[in-house]
Structure 1
Amino acid sequence: MSYVVDFVDVSPVGLESSPVAEALAGLRANEARYFRNKYEHVFTVEPASERPDIVEWVNRILAERDIVIASPALEATEFEVDGIRWSYVFYESGLSINVLYTLDHAGKRAVGFKLTDGMAVPAELADKFKFARQRSKLAGTIRGSYFAIKGEY
């Protein structure tokens, strides 16, 4: 069952099993606000169990860097705006992974990692990435990093 993410009244619906559910809900709402303001897109997520295709696609891209996420995936979404395929997976640990994949071969393609306020850097990412901090009214302190995608997916 899909859930339209509300960035005005932030709710941890679908994320309750996470030890940082409130912070993860804030991070998810922060993403919803971004897409609403920039693209007028309504950010809707589904349980990851209903969208294993998205989780598998993200996992194939992560394999490019030998990354396997240990935490269970809770929610996933995928949509296209302005010629960009966006895929998101939200994990129980508080990690959010997004894939920006420009459909034009000359465009940008990258994987972004965002860590919710209060979570430790996952062991599978700790030695491979440095995380920059940003402040968000909805999510508190977000730590983020990324890598450029080299392959074709």
Structure 2
Amino acid sequence: MPYAVDFVNVSTTGLESSPFADALAGLRANEARYFKNKYDHVFTVSPADEVPETVEWLSRILSEERGIEIASPALEATEFVVAGIRMAYVFYESGLSINAMYTLDDAGKRAVGFKLCEGMEVPAELAAFKFARQKSKLAGVIRGSFFVIKGEY
């Protein structure tokens, strides 16, 4: 069942099994606020098992581009198109959030972003990346990194 993320009253709905549920909920709310403010888009997530095509698409990009397999179970996912950009987000039990930004126009930007909840360790499969810190009122300190997508998906 899809769930519209509320960034005013942050809820751990759908993320309860994560040891970082509160921080992950803040991270998810941070994304919801961004899309509402920038694009007037309501950020809606579903349980990952209800949208396997989104999880598989993101997993395929990670695998084919960098040989990355995420060990943690996916809890929630969403996929939408806004301003000509296909966006996909997957939130993992470990406190990790991964997104793919894939401009539908061939000349656009295409990248995968990683965000780590405050307090979580960098997963072994992402150890090669350097993470920058960002402060968020909703999520505390977020550590993020990214890579540019080179292939066609």
| Cα RMSD for the two superposed structures | 0.3
Gaps of 5+ in 1: none
Paired position in structure 2 for 1:59: 59
Paired position in structure 2 for 1:74: 75
**SS of structure 2 residue aligned to 1:61:** helix
**SS of structure 1 residue aligned to 2:107:** coil
Letter in 2 for 1:86: M
* Count of residue pairs the alignment pairs up: 152
Distance in 2 between residues matched to 1:11 and 1:145, nearest whole Å: 25
What is the aligned-residue identity percentage?
78
**SS of structure 1 residue aligned to 2:14:** coil
Distance in 2 between residues matched to 1:95 and 1:105, nearest whole Å: 29
**SS of structure 2 residue aligned to 1:46:** strand
Distance in 1 between residues matched to 2:76 and 2:30, nearest whole Å: 15
Distance in 2 between residues matched to 1:57 and 1:79, nearest whole Å: 13
Gaps of 5+ in 2: none
Paired position in structure 2 for 1:138: 138
**SS of structure 2 residue aligned to 1:150:** coil
Which deviations, in whole Å up to 9, do the C-alpha atoms of 1:89-139 show, x marking residues without a partner? 00000000000000000100000000001110000001x100000000000
Distance in 2 between residues matched to 1:33 and 1:118, nearest whole Å: 22
Deviation at 1:88, TM superposition (A): 0.2
Letter in 1 for 2:106: H
TM-score normalised to the size of structure 2?
0.99
Kindly report structure 1 stretches of 4+ aligned residues shifted beyond 4 Å.
Answer: none
